[in-house]
Amino acid sequence: MKEIKVAIFDLTDCEGCELQFLALREELAAKGKDFQLANWRLLSNGASTGPFDITFIEGSPITDDDVVAVKKARAASKTIVALGSCATFGGLQAALPESRRALNIQKVYGEKYKATSRSPKNISYYIDVDINLPGCPIDKNELERLLAAVTSGKKYKEIKYPVCLECKARNNTCLFLEDGFCLGPITKGGCGAICPTNGLRCYGCFGPVEGANIEAMENVAGKYTDKKYLKDNLELYFKNAEEYKDYITKRK
Ligand code: SF4
Ligand code: SF4
Ligand code: SF4
């Protein structure tokens, strides 16, 4: 792997995607491959302010300082990757309705507390993002494919097939045949269909696949569960995704 300068920044998140990064780095190091980490708080590796060849940003910006940090990262980087579903879609923290957020803040900090945090948003709400790498957490193999493409000067090709394709390749019995429902048909692949393979439905953590037919999913899945539960499931990760927002706007 060509020597490239990599930076990893994290905002509001659980750091699970960075742990995948760490695991990949250890695997690559064992094979004698490595990359120069110019800035990674988690490992206390360097504190360079750039320039960087590729910068990964994990989490969603929720403070003014976070927004300044992502703008600085953009200015210092050739390529920006939104790392994980928090960065790509705002993540689980974006799923909470705004009215509930204000209420929860009051419950935790008291009525007099004046919150200064912003609503969690995707990184591309604030800056141009070159590559979105969704997943909660991201898939390590997909991260390796991305790094290999970027370091060899090739274009990284985003996955354009749904989880179902990987699920069928693993010979799983479809949960729809077992009176369950599953968001696999409208969710971007890349995780190897890990949830259905282990008997759990896909809850959409990689976000919508290109061309996702959300209306058809609502119609079909609506036969297996109630509408409110289905909506809550869809909005867990899809809420800030353009495909979902477009669908909701058209439906109004
Ligand atoms: S996308 Fe999921 S695993 Fe990654 S940082 Fe956010 S909450 Fe954690
Ligand atoms: S279990 Fe889910 S991911 Fe697997 S084929 Fe059925 S709908 Fe698709
Ligand atoms: S099966 Fe669905 S919920 Fe599970 S990891 Fe893959 S995309 Fe995420």
> Using one digit for the tens of pLDDT, what is the confidence trace for 193-228?
999 999 999 999 999 999 999 999 999 988 888 888
∠ CA 8-13-15 to the nearest 5 degrees? 55
pTM over 0.75, yes/no: yes
State yes or no: pLDDT of 118 exceeds 80.
yes
Indicate whether residue 138 lines ligand 3 (CB < 6 A). Answer: no
The answer to whether residues 4 and 35 touch, using CB atoms and an 8 Å cutoff, is yes
Q: Whats the size of the chain, residue-wise?
A: 252
In tens, the pLDDT along 153-190 reads: 899 999 999 999 999 999 999 999 988 889 999 999 99
Ligand nearest to the Cα of 143, by number: 1
Ligand whose nearest atom lies closest to the CA of 171: 2
Q: Is 244 exposed, middle or buried (0-12, 13-18, 19+ CB in 10 A)?
A: buried
Helix or strand or coil: residue 241? coil
Ligand 3 pocket: which of 166, 168, 194, 209 to mutate (most atoms <8 Å of CB)?
A: 194
Domains and CATH numbers, the chain: 5-151 (3.40.50.700), 163-251 (no CATH)
Return mean pLDDT, the chain.
92
Between 43 and 130, the higher pLDDT residue:
130
Ligand approaching nearest to the C-alpha of 204: 3
Q: Between residues 35 and 244, which one has the greater pLDDT?
A: 244
Query: Could you report the per-residue pLDDT of 14-63, keeping only the tens digit for each?
Result: 999 999 999 999 998 888 887 778 888 888 767 888 899 999 999 999 99
Residue nearest to atom 8 of ligand 2 (CA): 164
Check pocket membership of 167 for ligand 2, CB cut-off 6 A: yes
